[in-house]
């Protein structure tokens, strides 16, 4: 295979990534990605002086490496065969590259705009004129929802084609949240700015994205984080998972009108986010994770506090969960609703919860470990039915698993190092890939630097990038009234996708 294999959070010289002629690139990528254990974690392009460089990153779950391959082309009028024809999981990456740079992928079934980025290749395409799929029929009707929805939720447009109450097709159009974050990473060059940007990629995953950025930046600067920093980040990320999963379970109860579940689980989320506030002064842990260390040490008092929070949480959580799983009126809404089978999730290449709910083992914590997962061997929890209930059960079991990790980790007692802003500069002509497992799934950040160590490109991939199509397919043949509960059970990010 003509690829360079690197490990998670490793920095290499960009020139060591093989640059292949496109047909060779195509053959190698499709051969590698044919295995279920290999999937694309990022595929992006950027401009060099007089050409374009496109890098594809394929994660291999069996040996914990990432295959890097690349190709180059002219800046304009490029037309090449589409990888999507061979492997549908590439559909979103090729759409994105097409939108941003105008490269034509011949044979791609669906080269529609992804997010109407401000610097898109064809500025004539506007968000108000998105080309929705249509069916001419007197039997069918369309339902359009959004961009502004009925609750406190981010904007996006959902266009259903229904036969009576039954959904035949759903197309999801995003882009309303596009803030140009990747470009801001280049123009806002202070480290304090960049970490704040990382925390804003998806504010509900501040720890996940901030950790991905911090690990990347430290690797790029040739710095190794201290044990106490690793402990802090690992604890923060699992705590974020517990808090958000608990909140999601509350919201699932809301969507099936189980008021007691909503109020108990909503209340149980509070001590978790309040612990973040006690620790770092922000309920969503913004301002907490920083490259090279953190202002906020995990003191013995805080560890004790966390233990007592879990002691109070567990009995009440178990009580409500045990009630939920035996309540027929609740289960009848969750079971066999919004099903997506194993073959389908493999085909479209979902990640995180949206993969594990259908028996696809994708979890960076076990396949490409980072932080404390280098020592604590993680075993991903898998469910097999791919319905709303599988996604609900998965959250329940992950909460319990993560509490177990935290109880174990806070027994560790690494020396607390004072936080000092480092003067280290990023290495020149380098490439770094950094992946973490956010509560939604795998987060992937890639950076490429120029000869002076300045960023040439900062590429962000939120797990939602892979997973929105899963929602669109899962609702098919369901009643449209079940859309809210199916949507909530995926809980994908709008801003993480729109960037």
Partner 1 sequence: MLKELKTVYHQGSQYIRDLRQTEVPGIFKGRPVISSDACDEAALIELCPTDAITSSPLCIDLGKCIFCGACAFHSPNKIKFTKDYHLSVNCRDALIIKAGEDKPLQIEISKVRPEIISMFKGSFKLRQVSAGGDNSAELELNASGNVQFDMGRLGFEFVASPRHADALVITGPITENMAEPLETCLRDAPAPKAIILCGTDAISGGILANSPALNRNFLEKHMVDLYIPGNPPHPLTFINGLLSLLGRDRKK
Q: Which of 49, 151, 377, 423 binds partner 1 (CB under 8 A)?
A: 151
Q: Which of 41, 216, 280, 471 binds partner 1 (CB under 8 A)?
A: 280
204: contact with partner 1 by CB under 8 A: yes
**Which is closer to partner 1, CB of 188 or CB of 476?**
188
Q: What are phi and psi of 18, to 5 degrees?
A: -60, 130
The footprint of partner 1 on residues 157-176 (CB under 8 A) is 175-176
Cα 313 to the chain's mean position, in Å?
Answer: 27
Task: Quickly count: other Cβ atoms within 10 Å of residue 34's Cβ.
Answer: 10
Interface segment toward partner 1; rule CB under 8 A; list 36-44, 133-141, 280-288, 362-370: 280-288
283: contact with partner 1 by CB under 8 A: yes
In whole angstroms, give the CA distance from residue 415 to residue 43: 39
- Residue 249: name the closest of 1, 443, 489 by CA: 489
In whole angstroms, give the CA distance from residue 436 to residue 369: 8
How long a stretch of residues is the chain? 499
Q: In a 3-state reduction of DSSP, which class is residue 10?
A: coil
Are 370 and 9 within 8 A, CB to CB?
yes
282: contact with partner 1 by CB under 8 A: yes
The footprint of partner 1 on residues 402-441 (CB under 8 A) is 419
According to DSSP, the residues that pair with 43 across neighbouring strands are: 56
138: contact with partner 1 by CB under 8 A: no
CB of 317 to partner 1, least distance (A): 11
Phi-psi sector, 441: left (phi>0), alpha (psi -120 to 50), beta = left
The footprint of partner 1 on residues 296-315 (CB under 8 A) is 315
Are 459 and 488 within 8 A, CB to CB?
no
188: contact with partner 1 by CB under 8 A: yes
Are 475 and 483 within 8 A, CB to CB?
yes
330: contact with partner 1 by CB under 8 A: no
Q: Which of 150, 328, 329, 423 binds partner 1 (CB under 8 A)?
A: 150
Interface segment toward partner 1; rule CB under 8 A; list 115-123, 374-382, 437-445, 453-461: 115-123
Report how far apart, in Å, the C-alpha atoms of 58 and of each of 63, 257, 380, 418, 462 are: 12, 42, 20, 37, 16
96: contact with partner 1 by CB under 8 A: no
In whole angstroms, give the CA distance from residue 469 to residue 318: 33
Cα 295 to the chain's mean position, in Å?
Answer: 26
In whole angstroms, give the CA distance from residue 489 to residue 342: 17
202: contact with partner 1 by CB under 8 A: yes
CB of 322 to partner 1, least distance (A): 9
Which DSSP state fits 19? B
Residue window 218-257: x/- pattern of binding to partner 1, with contact defined by CB under 8 A: -----------------------------x----------
328: contact with partner 1 by CB under 8 A: no
CB of 297 to partner 1, least distance (A): 12
Site for partner 1, rule CB under 8 A: 116-119, 127-128, 147-148, 150-155, 175-181, 183-184, 188, 190, 192-193, 196-197, 200-204, 206, 247, 260, 263-264, 266-267, 270, 273-275, 277-284, 286-287, 295, 315-316, 319-320, 323, 419, 493-495, 498
């Amino acid at each position: 295979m003509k690829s360079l294999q690197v490990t998670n959070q490793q920095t290499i010289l960009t020139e060591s990534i093989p640059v292949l002629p496109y047909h060779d690139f195509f053959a190698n990528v499709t051969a590698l990605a044919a295995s279920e254990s290999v999937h694309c974690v990022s595929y992006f392009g950027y401009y060099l002086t007089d050409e374009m460089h496109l890098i594809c990153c394929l994660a291999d779950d069996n040996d914990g490496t990432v295959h890097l391959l690349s190709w180059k082309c002219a800046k304009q009028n490029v037309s090449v065969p589409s990888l999507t024809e061979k492997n549908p999981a590439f559909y979103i990456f090729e759409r994105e590259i097409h939108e941003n740079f105008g490269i034509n992928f011949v044979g791609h079934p669906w080269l529609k705009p992804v997010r109407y980025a401000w610097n898109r290749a064809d500025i004539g395409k506007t968000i108000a004129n998105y080309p929705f799929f249509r069916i001419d029929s007197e039997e069918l009707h369309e339902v359009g929802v959004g961009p502004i929805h009925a609750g406190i939720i981010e904007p996006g447009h959902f266009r259903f084609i229904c036969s009576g109450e039954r959904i035949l097709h759903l197309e999801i159009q995003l882009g309303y949240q596009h803030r140009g974050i990747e470009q801001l990473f280049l123009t806002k060059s202070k480290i304090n700015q960049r970490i704040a940007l990382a925390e804003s990629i998806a504010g509900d995953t501040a720890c996940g994205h901030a950790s991905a950025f911090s690990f990347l930046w430290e690797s790029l600067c040739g710095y190794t984080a201290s044990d106490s920093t690793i402990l802090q980040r690992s604890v923060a990320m699992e705590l974020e998972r517990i808090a958000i999963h608990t909140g999601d379970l509350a919201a699932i109860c809301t969507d099936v009108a189980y008021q007691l579940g909503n109020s108990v689980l909503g209340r149980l989320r509070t001590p978790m986010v309040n612990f973040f506030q006690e620790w770092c002064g922000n309920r969503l842990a913004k301002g907490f994770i920083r490259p090279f260390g953190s202002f906020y040490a995990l003191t013995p008092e805080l560890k004790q506090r966390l233990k007592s929070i879990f002691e109070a949480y567990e009995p009440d959580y178990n009580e409500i969960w045990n009630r939920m799983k035996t309540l027929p009126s609740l289960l009848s809404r969750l079971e066999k609703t919004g099903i997506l089978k194993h073959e389908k999730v493999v085909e479209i290449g979902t990640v995180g919860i949206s993969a594990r709910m259908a028996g696809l083992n994708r979890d960076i914590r076990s396949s490409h470990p980072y932080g404390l997962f280098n020592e604590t061997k993680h075993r991903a929890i898998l469910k097999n039915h791919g319905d709303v209930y599988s996604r609900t059960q998965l959250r329940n079991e992950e909460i319990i698993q993560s509490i177990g990790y935290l109880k174990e980790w806070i027994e560790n007692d690494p020396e607390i190092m004072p936080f000092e802003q480092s003067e280290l500069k990023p290495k020149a002509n380098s490439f770094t890939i950094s992946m973490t497992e956010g509560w939604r799934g795998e987060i992937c950040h890639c950076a490429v630097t120029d000869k002076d160590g300045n960023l040439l490109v900062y590429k962000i991939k939120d797990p939602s990038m892979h997973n929105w199509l899963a929602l669109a397919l899962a609702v098919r043949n369901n009643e449209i009234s079940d859309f809210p509960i199916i949507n909530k059970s995926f809980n994908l990010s709008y801003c993480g996708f729109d960037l």
